[in-house]
Amino acid sequence: GQNIDQPTEMTATEGAIVQINCTYQTSGFNGLFWYQQHAGEAPTFLSYNVLDGLEEKGRFSSFLSRSKGYSYLLLKELQMKDSASYLCAEMDSNYQLIWGAGTKLIIKP
Protein backbone atom coordinates (compact mmCIF):
# COMPACT_ATOMS: atom_id res chain seq x y z
CA GLY A 1 0.00 0.00 0.00
CA GLN A 2 0.95 3.65 -0.19
CA ASN A 3 1.89 5.74 2.83
CA ILE A 4 1.35 9.42 3.33
CA ASP A 5 3.38 10.95 6.13
CA GLN A 6 2.80 14.32 7.72
CA PRO A 7 3.48 15.64 11.24
CA THR A 8 0.77 15.00 13.80
CA GLU A 9 0.75 18.45 15.33
CA MET A 10 2.42 21.84 14.88
CA THR A 11 2.25 25.09 16.82
CA ALA A 12 2.80 28.57 15.42
CA THR A 13 2.27 32.17 16.41
CA GLU A 14 -0.33 34.53 15.00
CA GLY A 15 1.19 36.61 12.18
CA ALA A 16 4.01 34.15 11.53
CA ILE A 17 4.65 31.65 8.72
CA VAL A 18 4.34 27.89 9.02
CA GLN A 19 5.26 25.08 6.62
CA ILE A 20 3.48 21.73 6.83
CA ASN A 21 5.33 18.91 5.09
CA CYS A 22 3.95 15.80 3.44
CA THR A 23 5.79 12.85 1.93
CA TYR A 24 4.27 10.14 -0.21
CA GLN A 25 5.29 7.15 -2.25
CA THR A 26 5.89 8.09 -5.85
CA SER A 27 4.47 5.13 -7.79
CA GLY A 28 1.31 5.82 -9.82
CA PHE A 29 1.11 9.50 -8.92
CA ASN A 30 -1.75 11.61 -10.27
CA GLY A 31 -1.61 14.71 -8.14
CA LEU A 32 -1.41 15.96 -4.57
CA PHE A 33 -4.24 17.67 -2.71
CA TRP A 34 -4.33 19.72 0.47
CA TYR A 35 -7.53 20.12 2.46
CA GLN A 36 -8.34 22.12 5.58
CA GLN A 37 -10.60 20.69 8.27
CA HIS A 38 -11.80 22.69 11.24
CA ALA A 39 -12.76 20.68 14.29
CA GLY A 40 -16.16 19.06 13.85
CA GLU A 41 -16.49 20.22 10.26
CA ALA A 42 -16.04 18.77 6.78
CA PRO A 43 -12.71 18.98 4.94
CA THR A 44 -12.56 21.79 2.40
CA PHE A 45 -10.28 21.94 -0.64
CA LEU A 46 -7.20 24.17 -0.50
CA SER A 47 -4.92 23.21 -3.37
CA TYR A 48 -3.99 20.71 -6.04
CA ASN A 49 -0.50 20.18 -7.49
CA VAL A 50 0.41 17.81 -10.29
CA LEU A 51 3.51 19.55 -11.67
CA ASP A 52 6.67 20.46 -9.79
CA GLY A 53 6.86 23.88 -8.27
CA LEU A 54 5.06 26.34 -6.08
CA GLU A 55 1.42 27.37 -6.50
CA GLU A 56 0.40 30.48 -4.62
CA LYS A 57 -3.15 31.28 -3.63
CA GLY A 58 -3.39 34.27 -1.33
CA ARG A 59 -1.87 33.53 2.07
CA PHE A 60 -1.59 29.84 1.23
CA SER A 61 0.95 28.23 -1.11
CA SER A 62 1.58 24.61 -1.99
CA PHE A 63 4.79 23.09 -3.31
CA LEU A 64 5.44 19.79 -5.04
CA SER A 65 8.57 17.82 -5.90
CA ARG A 66 7.56 14.66 -7.75
CA SER A 67 11.08 13.20 -7.83
CA LYS A 68 11.32 13.46 -4.04
CA GLY A 69 7.73 12.46 -3.30
CA TYR A 70 7.41 15.62 -1.23
CA SER A 71 4.95 18.45 -0.84
CA TYR A 72 4.44 21.27 1.61
CA LEU A 73 1.71 23.71 2.45
CA LEU A 74 2.93 27.18 3.40
CA LEU A 75 0.67 29.45 5.41
CA LYS A 76 1.66 33.10 5.74
CA GLU A 77 0.41 35.86 8.04
CA LEU A 78 -1.21 33.30 10.27
CA GLN A 79 -4.59 34.13 11.75
CA MET A 80 -6.36 32.49 14.65
CA LYS A 81 -8.94 31.10 12.23
CA ASP A 82 -6.18 29.06 10.58
CA SER A 83 -6.23 26.74 13.58
CA ALA A 84 -7.38 23.52 11.97
CA SER A 85 -6.17 20.17 10.71
CA TYR A 86 -4.49 20.12 7.32
CA LEU A 87 -4.89 16.95 5.30
CA CYS A 88 -2.52 15.84 2.57
CA ALA A 89 -3.89 13.40 -0.02
CA GLU A 90 -2.22 11.74 -2.98
CA MET A 91 -4.25 10.71 -6.00
CA ASP A 92 -3.07 7.30 -7.14
CA SER A 93 -3.03 5.65 -10.55
CA ASN A 94 -6.71 4.67 -10.14
CA TYR A 95 -7.69 8.29 -9.38
CA GLN A 96 -8.41 7.40 -5.77
CA LEU A 97 -7.21 9.56 -2.91
CA ILE A 98 -4.77 8.18 -0.35
CA TRP A 99 -5.06 10.34 2.75
CA GLY A 100 -2.56 11.29 5.41
CA ALA A 101 -3.72 11.36 9.02
CA GLY A 102 -3.63 15.15 9.04
CA THR A 103 -1.58 17.79 10.82
CA LYS A 104 -3.28 19.66 13.64
CA LEU A 105 -2.11 23.28 13.54
CA ILE A 106 -2.41 25.28 16.74
CA ILE A 107 -2.10 29.05 16.44
CA LYS A 108 -1.13 30.98 19.56
CA PRO A 109 -1.64 34.73 20.03
Partner 1 sequence: DVKVTQSSRYLVKRTGEKVFLECVQDMDHENMFWYRQDPGLGLRLIYFSYDVKMKEKGDIPEGYSVSREKKERFSLILESASTNQTSMYLCASSLQADSSYEQYFGPGTRLTVT
Residues near partner 1 (CB under 8 A): 4, 8, 30-31, 33, 40-45, 48, 50, 87, 89, 91, 95-102
Least spacing, CB of residue 15 vs partner 1, in Å = 29
Least spacing, CB of residue 64 vs partner 1, in Å = 13
Least spacing, CB of residue 68 vs partner 1, in Å = 20
Least spacing, CB of residue 1 vs partner 1, in Å = 8
The Cα 94–Cα 16 span in angstroms is: 38
Give the residue with the Cβ less far from partner 1, 74 or 91: 91
Residue 97: burial class (beta carbons within 10 Å; 0-12, 13-18, 19+)? middle
Give the residue with the Cβ less far from partner 1, 8 or 67: 8
Residue 100: burial class (beta carbons within 10 Å; 0-12, 13-18, 19+)? buried
Give the residue with the Cβ less far from partner 1, 13 or 30: 30
Strands 32-37 and 84-91 turn out to be antiparallel
